[in-house]
Amino acid sequence: MGMFYDYHPPHPQEQHNRLVALRLLTDNNNPCILWAEDAMCYVYSVPTYLFDQQILVPDELLESAANILQAGSSRYVPTVHAWDYAEIFGPNKGATPFPKSIRLRHLDIPEDDPYKLEPIPGFIVLHPQSYFGLDVRDQGRFQSLVPPLDPSNAKILVPKYHTFLEGLIHFVMNPPTRLDVPRPHSTSKRKHEIFISYLVHYRVKYDMDVIPPVHDLYPEEAKILSEVQTDEARWYLRQLMWERKNVFVREILDYQRQSATGTLSSSASSANVTNRFPGASTAPRLSIGADRRTYATDAVTNQNSNATLTRPLPRLSPAPRLSGGTLAATSRLLRRAFP
């Protein structure tokens, strides 16, 4: 279990060096939130690779933030949306789930080595904060990187644990490309569900050899459910932790319709579920992939309940963050394997 859970984030100086763009934004009075893999790795000790640095900014300051990062010596220029979030199948193949987001590329990285400047990010994605239902002015939902980082990073916001889950769940349930369309953006839904799994997985510390019990909670799961503050997050996590099932688009739409009409049952919305494992310290561990490609899920059937449990496919490697050269080599191998 130590291979998965005894991970420590990079040294504070390395983190400081990677956060140069966020300091530039805050120094220019443009508030911002560190998001996605960077926040998971630095704050919540998730051993994920770091790819595009994702930053949330106030909607009305999105263009301003992009201009700041393109000015002076920062050397970032606009580029195409990230391929790993693009829709893979159907009539919307290639469509981005982030229609208003702005992706920037550093001028000094070659096409075949996006990690050449590591720890400085080769790509940055600026998202409107409304995509995740967040507001930088709501200071109680965020925390600081200081300490352990240098005080110059004090204005950079990072989501508290419950805020992180709430923001990711908000995006899954309220994507800017909408769910009530013939072909919802499934690739983006799966990507953000993996982020949710990361956060839950590395806090609960599941045991990979044990299938989680349906309609029972482990102590840490009960704590997570008690911490989240939005109704949709309580409902979504209840499906994952109590019902032990994936959350499908049709179920999200049903929940939203019932919430809008006031017909949602108390059992469906309640987070007050029974925890019958007061002495348990761990719960089933789910192995989550660390590569940029979207991972499918395989269904595991609980023989006693016929409930469907989800277990993301095994990760490509259990290693923490690698050096720039190793990541570049891995990137080249992946491009050859998945052209």
pLDDT by residue (tens digit) across 241-260?
999 999 999 999 999 999 99
Model pLDDT, residue 115? 82
Model pLDDT, residue 247? 96
Model pLDDT, residue 268? 61
How do strand 53-57 and strand 123-128 relate by DSSP bridges?
Answer: parallel
Distance set, CA 280 to CA 204, 254, 277 (Å): 11, 34, 5
What pTM value is reported for the model? 0.81
In the predicted model, residues of the chain with pLDDT beneath 50 are: 1-3, 276-339
Model pLDDT, residue 97? 94
Which residues 6+ apart lie within 8 Å of 15 measured at CB?
A: 9, 42, 119, 145, 149
Contacts 24+ apart (CB under 8 A), 256-264: 256/173, 259/231
Model pLDDT, residue 79? 94
